Structure 1
Amino acid sequence: MISVNDFKTGLTIEVDGGIWRVMDFQHVKPGKGAAFVRSKLRNLRTGAIQEKTISWWRESRKSANR
């Protein structure tokens, strides 16, 4: 499991059963509530691009192939 502080452009992660590469991200710390990351991800199997919001408590795992 990784934390929101580990997010970097080019990082390969597993989210919702898919392998994704981080294309862009923005670390957001709202005045009220927990920090989260808004990210633009590319699915490595299909090539689809999707924007996701990932919170620190949500499970994401680093892939073996960075």
Structure 2
Amino acid sequence: ETGLKIQVPFFIERGEIVKVDTRTGKYIERVGKKG
């Protein structure tokens, strides 16, 4: 929703919800699927 782009592992698919460290912008973990 904000347009932020981050690098995530290859197993993450479009539409999945991930946790991101807002200080660094780095991927932390997969949370679930949208919807």
TM-score by length of 1: 0.23
Higher strand share: 1
TM-score by length of 2: 0.31
Q: Which has the larger radius of gyration?
A: 1
Higher helix share: 1
